[in-house]
Structure 1
């Protein structure tokens, strides 16, 4: 999948590039959340007896899966339908 906006000068090319930038910014959300968990000490504080470090890592995994699913759904919804290719023999 190519991540480039249509540069043909049409009115929709600016809108398409801003949507692409917003989607790429969503990908930074799990990365930033993982960086926050690295700043925590691995043993303290605790949540229900489990170190918060591990709880937040699990939450980052769920967040990453949710963002990936959302972006896949958005990209599939905005993709133009492909025409079937003819197979030459």
Structure 2
């Protein structure tokens, strides 16, 4: 089917472009990137040196919250890779 644009029917093109613009906006809204404000960034909690005291439950809890993992997962990371904060961060890919 051929659509002809004439002086008597200028709305064909305008109507189609409006629909296309709406479709593009809907598509962009569906595929919008999510904000990463709530993701963990290594710099967000500073420490790049030091150790995690696995014998201190409060410290374990603090670091587990900062790494956004469970205390059990933090203990496992410490057993596997040691108490050094950079080593734990590297293992957790933070």
Taking structure 1 as the reference length, what is the TM-score of the superposition? 0.30
More strand by share: 1
Q: Which has the larger radius of gyration?
A: 2
Higher RCO (CA < 8 A, seq sep 6+)? 2
